[in-house]
């Protein structure tokens, strides 16, 4: 642990720097716990510039916690369309309804309580408690781990959970009781603007004088991080089942990949199997009366852990009165824009419409 003297230098320099240089971000206009909460969920694994327009629209559509609690699932997921990690939206909606129903609409201000809400882990709990309620709670995200890794020359792999635990102990030790919210945000802001992953701007760093990595020239070697595995390749088929100006769409299950989003009927295809044969078996299994199969186009989409090689196959449904598979619906072509589709399906639709 750093000495008391070092702790004081870090606190003072970081707070002074933050109060001078902090970005004017839309979630920094007030300390409404609900607004802070929404911003923290959106910012998980997502860049500030990407979040800003979503945040503005979302808060415009759901200005208060009760507005969100009273919204439908479809409204919420549509507001999240394109932002990714869609379970965040479902968990947020669920948790907000829980707060409205069981906490009188007031976001809990205790770690033990707020941590029970869906989608709120230790980081998000600490961020909300410190920023909205001025509570001394650690909020260790990727920025903070990178900053600590360099500041104290910690060689541990920041991809490991045990490393985050270590960092949280350090954060507890560093956070000043008089400004926990600003200090936590200062650490993150430093990571975002100065102590960046590549080529950190050490010459402008407010804590350069006490930075272990800088003095040893290790800023480009730290933090250490295990490389992610490459995405697994999977061949999938998107079905474009037309009848007149209607098309079949499928609501994905509320867990797993693209949870709760609308999709084109999707099936994995075996290696070496032709798209038309896959389509034939798919229709047979789902007892879909369709004919005139045509391969329309092919595309690829890379998720974090999956690499989809996609074939788009069109077919004409000959009898629209057949029993629909669970979760399937007919949609007017003109209504597709009102449904929430993940980007991979938006890309496909662009090729088809």
Closest Cα to residue 156, out of 216, 95, 231, 224?
224
Strands (E), 114-255: 232-243, 246-251
Residue number with CB closer to DNA (119 or 206) = 119
Positions touching DNA (CB under 7 A) are: 25, 27-28, 39-40, 43-50, 82-87, 91, 118-125, 127, 141-143, 146, 160-162, 185, 188-189, 191-192, 196-198, 225, 227-230, 256-259, 301-306, 342-344
Residue number with CB closer to DNA (40 or 317) = 40
Smallest gap, in angstroms, from Cβ of residue 285 to DNA? 22
Tokens of 341: 């589709």
Smallest gap, in angstroms, from Cβ of residue 267 to DNA? 16
Catalytic annotation present for 40? yes
Residue number with CB closer to DNA (89 or 290) = 89
Tokens of 22: 């902090």
Q: Count the helices and strands in the chain (H runs, E runs).
A: 14, 7
Smallest gap, in angstroms, from Cβ of residue 152 to DNA? 18
- Please pick, among 13, 40, 168, 189, the residue that the annotation labels catalytic: 40
Residue number with CB closer to DNA (28 or 212) = 28
Smallest gap, in angstroms, from Cβ of residue 85 to DNA? 5
Smallest gap, in angstroms, from Cβ of residue 291 to DNA? 31
Rounded-to-integer distance, Cα 338 and Cα 329, Å: 14
Rounded-to-integer distance, Cα 251 and Cα 264, Å: 8
Residue number with CB closer to DNA (177 or 228) = 228
Torsion of CA 340, 343, 346, 351, to 10 degrees: -170
Residue number with CB closer to DNA (152 or 341) = 341
Q: Which residue has the tokens 């069109």?
A: 314
Tokens of 19: 């109060």
Smallest gap, in angstroms, from Cβ of residue 171 to DNA? 13
> What is the bridge-based pairing of β-strands 246-251 and 328-332?
antiparallel
- The string of DSSP letters for 240-307 reads EEEETTEEEEEEPPSSSTTTT-EE--EEE--TT--HHHHHHHHHHHHT--EEEEEEEEEEEEE-SSEE
Rounded-to-integer distance, Cα 102 and Cα 94, Å: 12
Please give the C-alpha separations between residue 304 and each of 205, 229, 258, in angstroms, as whole numbers.
32, 9, 12
- The radius of gyration computed from the CA coordinates of the chain, to the nearest angstrom, equals 24
Smallest gap, in angstroms, from Cβ of residue 218 to DNA? 15
Residue number with CB closer to DNA (205 or 288) = 205
Q: Which residue has the tokens 């047979």?
A: 284
Active site residues per annotation: 40
């Amino acid at each position: 642990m750093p000495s008391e003297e070092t702790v004081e230098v870090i606190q003072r320099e970081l707070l002074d720097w933050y109060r001078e240089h902090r970005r004017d971000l839309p979630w920094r206009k007030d300390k409404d716990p609900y607004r802070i909460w929404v911003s923290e969920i959106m910012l998980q694994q997502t860049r500030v510039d990407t979040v800003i327009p979503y945040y503005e629209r979302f808060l415009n559509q759901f200005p208060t916690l009760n507005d969100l609690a009273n919204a439908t699932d479809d409204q919420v997921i549509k507001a999240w369309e394109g932002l990714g990690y869609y379970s965040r939206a479902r968990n947020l909606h669920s948790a907000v309804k829980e707060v409205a129903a069981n906490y009188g609409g007031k976001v809990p201000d205790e770690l033990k309580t707020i941590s029970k809400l869906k989608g709120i882990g230790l980081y998000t709990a600490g961020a909300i408690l410190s920023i909205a309620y001025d509570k001394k709670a650690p909020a260790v995200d990727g920025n903070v781990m990178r900053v600590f890794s360099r500041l104290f020359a910690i060689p541990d792999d920041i991809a490991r959970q045990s490393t985050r635990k270590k960092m949280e102990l350090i954060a507890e030790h560093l956070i000043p009781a008089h400004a926990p919210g600003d200090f936590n945000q200062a650490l993150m802001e430093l990571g975002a603007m100065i102590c960046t992953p590549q080529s950190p701007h050490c010459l402008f760093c407010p804590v350069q004088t006490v930075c272990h990595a800088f003095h040893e020239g290790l800023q480009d070697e730290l933090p250490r991080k295990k490389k992610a595995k490459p995405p697994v390749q999977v061949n999938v088929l998107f079905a474009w089942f037309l009848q007149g100006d209607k098309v079949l769409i499928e609501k994905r299950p509320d867990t797993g990949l693209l949870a709760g989003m609308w999709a084109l009927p999707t099936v994995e295809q075996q290696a070496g199997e032709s798209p038309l044969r896959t389509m034939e078996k798919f229709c047979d299994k789902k007892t879909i009366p369709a004919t005139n199969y045509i391969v329309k186009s092919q595309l690829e989409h890379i998720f974090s852990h999956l690499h989809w090689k996609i074939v788009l196959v069109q077919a004409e449904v000959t009898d629209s009165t057949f029993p629909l598979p669970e979760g399937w619906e007919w949609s007017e072509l003109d209504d597709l824009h009102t449904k929430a589709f993940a980007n991979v399906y938006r890309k496909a639709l662009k090729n088809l419409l």
